[in-house]
Structure 1
Amino acid sequence: MGFEEESRAYHAADPPGKIEIATTKSTKTQRDLSLAYSPGVAGPCRAIAENPDDAYSYTAKGNLVGVISNGSAVLGLGDIGPQASKPVMEGKGVLFKRFADIDVFDIELDLDDPESMIAATRAMEPTFGGINLEDIRAPECFEIEETLREEMSIPVFHDDQHGTAIISGAALLNAAEIADKELSDLEVAFAGAGAAATATARFFVSLGVEPANVTMSDIDGVITEERVANGDPHPYVEEFASDEGGDLADAMEGADAFVGLSAGGIVSREMVRSMAANPIIFAMANPNPEIDYEEAKTARDDTVIMATGRSDYPNQVNNVLCFPFIFRGALDVRATEINEEMKVACAEALADLAKRDVPDAVRKAYSDEVLQFGPEYILPKPLDSRVLFEVSSAVAQAAVSSGAARAEIRLDTYHERLEARLGKSREMMRVVLNKAKSDPKRVVLAEGDDEKTIRAAFQMREEGIAEPLLIGNREEIEATVEEFGLGFDPDVVDPSEVDLDEYADRLYELRKRKGITRSEAVDMVRRDSNYLGSVMVEAGDADAMLTGLTRHYPTGARPPLQVIGTAPDVEYVAGVYMLAFDDRVVFCADATVNRDPDHRALAEAARRAAEIARRFDVEPRAAMLSYSNFGSVDNKGTRKPREAARLLRRDPDVDFPVDGEMQADTAVVESLLTGTYGFSDLEEPANVLVFPNLEAGNIGYKLLQRLGGAEAIGPMLAGMDEPVHVLQRGDEVKDIVNLAAVAVVDAQQQ
């Protein structure tokens, strides 16, 4: 099956298309429906009639964008009309939702003249929080957008113009820095004089390029003052009209930068060679750029900084880096417009993000590319979730500063609101990260010379979460820091540099009656970073420890258990996972440590999991799980969780509800719990799930994670005398940072 046939099959699969309407409130009962429609809607309708701004409080307007098109200039397809453009507009809605959690109605209008488009779009202002104009031909698109911006009090944004301009502007900021050139000195040659090219040239001027240094060309050659005076190609390029003619080759000779928004294959190697040193080439025609990537890169011996509109080459100029996030910021402050300050803020935020260390998830998604700031990486990737935080926050701030915002917003907490849109786990981790930042602690990282550990240490330091101590070879660690351009001076504990006698003495003292000799203790702290890190924590030279990234879980857990041990009032440690679903979180214990716990160990696991839940500001409700419901089956296996629940209920120090034994669905489904078993001590579904043994716990959390779509954070090792957490082999940088934050909060509480 060819790609086009595959695409048609994708769109035609039942249900046809790519979008649907989903309800955000309960509609299960007659009461729900009465509230959702008649007579319940009367209340909010009256409120909005009295105060139109209440539409943002009682309806979805504040998160709803209209994608409006007449299909007159669809990328790569031309004037195909409104009906044929609908798959594109639906696709635009998918991107809005996927990247910024913005809802979209796509509106395809069978209208050709600007006046009708303006009138129809203007009439929809009560429906939408913003308007995204799409695939409307030039020069009509200029008139339509300008008029709507003047006459509407919600943001109007023609993405074909400004999206391309903003992304290529961000690329230009970084390309100029790499080429060591000032924007005000750049000579820029444009191929193309349509909507995108004109808007991009104007935006470059907003960034600092001199208008006199811009030369624009189209199929008929350089845009001159004489041509513009004769209406060719349109009056919107007048500010870039040249007093001299020529063709594209003339425009490119000696130019520092080339921007192509025209047609494929119109630039030759000779034209690239005629440019100034270290040229910047943005060949953005799709699907074929003005010059092939490899052709341009090999045309000369100095550095060619190249960007295209294609995803199979580095530095893709992709509008999805802009429009979802600029609308997110604009909607959240109820902006009246998307002004130049907001667009510049968007470009600068994107340029800055490209200079930062790239998350592992993004590296995996783009495994064939170098993702480190330089000529091959001047723009962040669309799948980098940080774009939402950085760009939307910058846009919202610019809207407030420029006077375009109508709603009050706490910019210091806005980042957290955005993070919550990416999922419950991000929202929950933000609670712990904020606590960690309030009083950072020293966290020793046993595998300190591992690349992921070093990058995680950089993030901990940069975000103020912890003071990381890296155990490992100093030269190797510093070389990795330099290789990834992390720009920080790590605190390194190099066993070859440090006097370890005191640590060896302490380890010997702790383990001499466990068969360890003094010479073995010396060897263990020198050769095994797990023992060294554990003794450092036990001695008070570090507040917490992480290990396990490159080892099996038991191997990582054994040294801290031997050296640090459990807390004075704790007999059993437990491994706890937090699983975050769309609408709830649950804490699962024990999934990593106790293979066949008795009822006392199960009770301990519940206590420890409840403590961890409270670190995430969740009030625990514990269920002791089994295949039996409250004595429906009576044997040795079902008695363990039953006795554990009784033990906990009799404990005066247990201040959270707990019950069991019960089946998993009874524990988490409210209708089963309160309907069938109304006598239960749990009045709401459980959020702490204690499994009867390690086998069940491990199987259970993995099924919930993989089939239930939950995001897992952990395992968190609970019950240690000092904070220690053992990572899973292969964890990503974000997992290390998250567990470090949990360890810091542990240390704060201790």
Structure 2
Amino acid sequence: MTLEEDALDYHRRPPSGKVEISTTKSTSTQRDLSLAYSPGVAAPCREIDEDGTRAYDYTAKGNLVGVVSNGSAVLGLGDIGAQASKPVMEGKGVLFKRFADIDVFDIELELDDPDAFVQAVAGMGSTFGGINLEDISAPDCFEIEQRLREQMDIPVFHDDQHGTAIISGAALLNAVEITGKELSDLQVTFAGAGAAATATARFYVSLGIPRENITMCDEHGILSERRARADELSEYTEPFAQGVDDGALADAMAGADVFVGLSVGGIVSPEMVRSMAGDPVIFAMANPDPEIEYETAKSARDDTVIMATGRSDYPNQVNNVLGFPFIFRGALDARATEINEPMKRAAAEALADLAQQDVPDAVVKAYDDDVLQFGPDYLIPKPLDQRVLYEVTPAVAEAAMESGVARRELDLDDYREQLEARLGKSREMMRVVLNKAKSDPKRVALAEGENERIIRAASQMTDEGIADPVLVGDESEIQRTVDELGLDFDAAVADPSDAEWDHYAEELHRRRRRKGLTQGEAAELVSSDPDYFASMMVEMDDADAMLSGLTHQYPSALRPPLEVIGTADDADYAAGVYMLTFRNRVIFCADTTVNLDPSAEVLAEVTKHTAELARRFNVEPRAALLSYSDFGSVDNDGVAKPRNAVSMLREDPQADFDVDGEMQADTAVVEEMLAGTYGFADLDGPANVLIFPNLEAGNIGYKLLQRLGGAEAIGPMLVGMDKPAHVLQRGDEVKDIVNLAGVAVADAQQRDSDE
């Protein structure tokens, strides 16, 4: 099947198109309907009539953008008209929702007259929180945007003009840093003089490039003062007319530091690239064929050629999706009256800064494990990098507030957390723990300190103030990796080969000599097994917590901390807990990694420790001990275990939380079943702590919930230990390591407060 056939099938498959409307409030009862419509809806209507700004409180206006077009300049298709452009506008709405959780109504207007277009859109101001103009031909697009900005008190943004300007501006900021040049000294040549080119040139001026340093060319050659005097230029291109002789693009490129192509493919030759200044920057952004092919430009000369295109199959794709969703998100949340130049600059600068940070593993995997590290081939973040939402958006909102166009003041720290929560419940839950960790960071020993992912995680922990990581391993090897990764942090290292740690072997031998461990074996374990070394660091109070297990099997990583640190005074058993986050609920599952066939006593103990863990996430535990029977419907030794565990917990004064069982899994989590059929159950709502009868059930259960239920899993978190020790899963990403470190720090903080 060809791409075109696949696309047609994709759009035609029922339901047709790509978008739908869904309700955000319950409509399942007559009461719900009377609130949603008549008579209840009159109340918010009266409130808004009294104060129009209350529309943001009582309607979806504050999260609704109108994507408006007449289809007169659809990318790659030209003037195809309003109706034919609808798939594109729906697609724009998909991107708004996918990347910034913004709702969209696409509006296609059969209006070619700018006056009629402006009048129609201006009349929609009460409906939308912002207007995104799309695929409108020049020069009408300039006039339409300007007039709508003047008439409307909500943001109006023509993405075809400003999107490319902002994203390529971010790339330019980083290209300048790499080449060591100054913005004020750059000589810039533009190929193209349409909406995108003129808007990009104006934006570059706002970034600091002198207007007189910009030479712009159209299909007739250089925009010169002679052509301006001859009325060959429009009011939008005339400001870029240069006092030079008429000439061709090749003349304009000679000696230029930067080439910006927003025209047509194949118009730049290798000779033209060779005529440019040293270490040239080439943004060939014509689609689908750039002004010069990537490989041709890179091979045209021997020095560094920094190249960007509009294509996804080459490095440095200038993709507008990095801009408009997040710019509108910040503008909407600040209730800005417009998107101004400071907000656009803030977006470009935030994108440039983000590209210099370590790239999450999930992003690398999404792009086929390509090397993504700041440099000539990585100037701007990738569109699938979720950090753009909470790095760029707050910068835009802050600029709106500082420039005086915001009607709402935001606490930027709280706002960033709200944005992270839009990415999923797991982000929201982890933010609770990470904020706790930041309040009093602890020393976390990282057993596999020479591993690249562990080192990157340590750098992130340090940057965010989550923990004080200590990397266990060869110091020279660790520093070499830090340098190769380009990380800017001073890694604290504990090298087992250093003599200062010799007493660890003596202490380990003293503790294990009656369990078959010789002096020589103890010395070998401490010097060659980083899990034993990290465990000894925690046990000897040289670290407050430890992580291990990234590169080997869970049981082998668990053994050293169990032997060295052991379980807590009030615990005889450790257990593994996963936190599963769904869209609107959180469930803690135990035991999923440690105890094969726990007794009733073990189940009771695991339940208490899991409830304690839930409270560290600010979740009040409601524990259900699971079985295949409900409250005595079956009577055998298997179901007796959870039933007896519940009895033990009810007699335990430390078990100060709701608990019941035995019960089936659906009974535990479905409120209607629990409150209806089993209204006598001692749970004040659906269970959020699920205790499985054995390891087999626990492991199967959490994985089914994760894969089929769409839950995000955080863990496993080890409970019941005397001191914080957690075992990673093989293949965990950097974010997983950082999250588990945050849990370990919060655990250490709790132990300090209990002492």
Deviation at 1:227, TM superposition (A): 2.7
| 3-state secondary structure, aligned to 2:236 | helix
The residue that corresponds to 1:541 in the other structure is 542
Kept in 2: contact 1:193–1:233 (CA 8 A):
no
SS of alignment partner, residue 592 of structure 2 = coil
Could you say which residue in structure 2 is the equivalent of 1:170? 170
User: How far is 1:499 from its partner?
Assistant: 2.7
- Aligned-pair CA distance for 1:358: 0.3
Q: Match of 2:619?
A: 618
Matches of 2:615 and 2:112 in 1, distance apart? 60
Does residue 456 in structure 1 map to residue 457 in structure 2? Answer: yes
The amino acid of 2:191's aligned partner reads A
Q: CA deviation at 1:224?
A: 1.9
Q: Deviations over 1:70-96 (max 9, x none)?
A: 000000110000101000000000000
Q: Which residue of structure 1 aligns with residue 391 of structure 2?
A: 390
SS at match of 2:508: helix
- 1:3-30 Cα shifts (integer Å, max 9, x gaps): 0011000011110100110111111111
C-alpha distance in 2, partners of 1:422/1:412? Answer: 16
1:479 Cα deviation from its structure 2 partner: 1.0
Q: Which residue of 1 aligns with 2:123?
A: 123
Alignment match, 2:273:
272
1:673 alignment partner in structure 2: 674
2:706 counterpart letter in structure 1:
Q
Separation in 2, partners of 1:232, 1:34: 63
Q: Is the contact between residue 622 and residue 684 of structure 2 (CA under 8 Å) also seen in structure 1?
A: no
The one-character-per-residue Cα deviations of 1:321-341 (angstroms, maximum 9, x if unpaired) are: 000000000001100000000
Correspondence for 1:192: 192
Looking at structure 2, the residues matched to 695 and 666 of structure 1 have their Cα atoms a distance apart, in angstroms, of 20
For 1:387 and 1:715, locate their aligned partners in 2 and report how far apart those are by CA, in whole Å.
28
* Paired AA for residue 687 in structure 1: N
1:472-522 C-alpha deviation (Å, 9 max, x unpaired): 111111111111111111001112224322111111111111100111111
Matches within 5 A, 1:243-642: 243-244=243-244, 245-367=246-368, 369-642=370-643
Change (3 A) 1:71 1:565: same
For 1:712, give the aligned amino acid.
A
Alignment-derived partner of residue 729 in structure 2: 728
Letter in 2 for 1:708: G
Cα distance, 1:412 vs. partner? 2.0
User: Within the alignment, does 1:136 sit opposite 2:154 as a pair?
Assistant: no
Greater mean deviation of Cα atoms: 587-596 or 409-418: 409-418
SS in 2 for 1:235: coil
Q: State the alpha-carbon separation in 2 of the partners of residues 365 and 550 from structure 1.
A: 22
Distance 1:700 1:30 in 2: 37
In 2: Cα distance, 1:429 partner to 1:527 partner: 34
Once the two structures are superposed, residues 155-201 of structure 1 have per-residue CA deviations (whole angstroms, 9 ceiling, x without a partner) of 00000000000000000000111111100000000000000000000
* Structure-1 residue corresponding to 2:227: 227
Q: Distance in 2 between matches of 1:507 and 1:28?
A: 63
**Structure 1 residue 609: deviation in Å?**
0.8
Q: CA deviation at 1:230?
A: 4.4
Q: CA deviation at 1:683?
A: 2.3
Q: Secondary structure at the match of 1:97?
A: helix
Specify the code of the residue in structure 1 equivalent to 2:614. Answer: A
Letter in 2 for 1:251: A
> Counterparts of 1:511 and 1:299 in 2: how far apart (Å)?
67
Say which SS state the counterpart of residue 377 (structure 1) adopts: coil
Aligned-partner residue type, residue 683 of structure 2: L
Shift of 1:572: 1.2
Q: CA deviation at 1:368?
A: 5.3
List per-residue Cα deviations over 1:502-549 (Å, max 9, x = no partner): 111111111111100111111110010111110110010000000000
Residue identity in the other structure for 1:406: R
1:53-107 CA-partner distances (Å, limit 9, x unpaired): 0000000000000000000000011000010100000000000000000000000
Which amino acid in the other structure matches residue 212 of structure 1?
A: E
Shift of 1:226: 3.3
Shift of 1:367: 2.3
Amino acid of the residue matched to residue 219 of structure 1? E
**Distance in structure 1 (CA, Å) of the matches to 2:440 and 2:484:** 30
Flag the 1:732–1:499 CA change in 2: closer, same or farther, 3 A: same
Return the offset for 1:246: 0.4
Alpha-carbon distance, 1:151 to partner: 1.0
SS where residue 609 of structure 2 aligns?
Answer: helix
1:629-668 equivalences under 5 Å are 629-668=630-669
Equivalent residue letter for 1:87: P
8 Å CA contact 2:417, 2:431 repeated in 1:
yes
The residue type paired with residue 214 of structure 1 is I
Q: CA deviation at 1:649?
A: 1.2
Normalised by the length of structure 1, the TM-score is 0.99
Work out the CA distance in 1 between the residues paired with 2:719 and 2:234: 69
- Which piece of structure 1 moves more, 656-665 or 361-370? 361-370
Distance (Å, rounded) in 1 between the aligned partners of 2:483 and 2:117: 55
Contact residue 70 and residue 81 of structure 1 kept, 8 A: yes
> Offset of 1:231 from its aligned partner?
4.2
Shift of 1:661: 0.3
- 1:686 is matched with 687
Structure 1: runs of 5 or more not aligned: none
The one-letter code of the counterpart of 1:747 is A
User: Which amino acid in structure 1 is aligned with residue 679 of structure 2?
Assistant: G
Report if aligned partners of 1:370, 1:376 keep a CA contact under 8 Å in 2.
no
| Structure-2 residue corresponding to 1:701 | 702
Partner of 2:183: 183
Q: Secondary structure at the match of 1:236?
A: coil
Secondary structure of 1:71's partner? coil
Residues 228 and 235, structure 1, Cα contact 8 Å, conserved in 2: no
| Rounded Cα–Cα distance in structure 2 between residues aligned with 1:329 and 1:420 | 15
Letter in 1 for 2:583: D
Does residue 216 of the first structure (1) align with residue 216 of the second (2)?
A: yes
Structure 1: how far apart are the matches of 2:727 and 2:306? 43
Aligned mates of 2:231, 2:383 — CA distance in 1: 39
Report the residue type matching 1:417 in the other structure: Q
Secondary structure of 1:81's match?
coil
C-alpha deviations, 1:444-485, integer Å up to 9, x for none?
Answer: 000000000000000000000000000011111111111111
Whole-angstrom CA distance in 2 between matches of 1:707 and 1:285: 42
Contact kept, 8 Å, 1:500 with 1:522, in 2: the verdict is: no
User: Which stretch shifts more, 218-227 or 474-483?
Assistant: 218-227
Percent of aligned pairs with the same residue? 72
Q: Distance in 2 between matches of 1:459 and 1:605?
A: 32
1:216/1:241 contact within 8 Å kept: yes
- Taking the aligned partners of 1:445 and 1:344, their CA distance within structure 2 comes to 40
One-letter amino acid of the counterpart of residue 551, structure 2: T
Q: Distance in 1 between matches of 2:439 and 2:243?
A: 61
Is the alpha carbon distance of 1:483 and 1:56 closer, same or farther for their aligned partners in structure 2, counting shifts above 3 Å?
same
- What's the offset of the Cα at 1:554? 0.4
Work out whether residues 314 and 369 of structure 1, in 8 Å CA contact, stay in contact via their aligned partners in 2: no
Corresponding residue for residue 109 of structure 1: 109
Given the two structures, how large is their TM-score scaled by the length of structure 2?
0.99
Conserved 8 A contact 2:342-2:400: yes
Within-5 A mapping of 1:47-58: 47-58=47-58
Separation of aligned partners in 2, 1:594 and 1:497: 37
Kept in 1, the 8 Å contact 2:625–2:642? The answer is: yes
Instruction: State how far apart, in whole Å, the 1-side matches of 2:226 and 2:158 are.
Output: 29
Tell me how far apart the structure 2 counterparts of residues 368 and 241 of structure 1 sit (CA, whole Å).
45
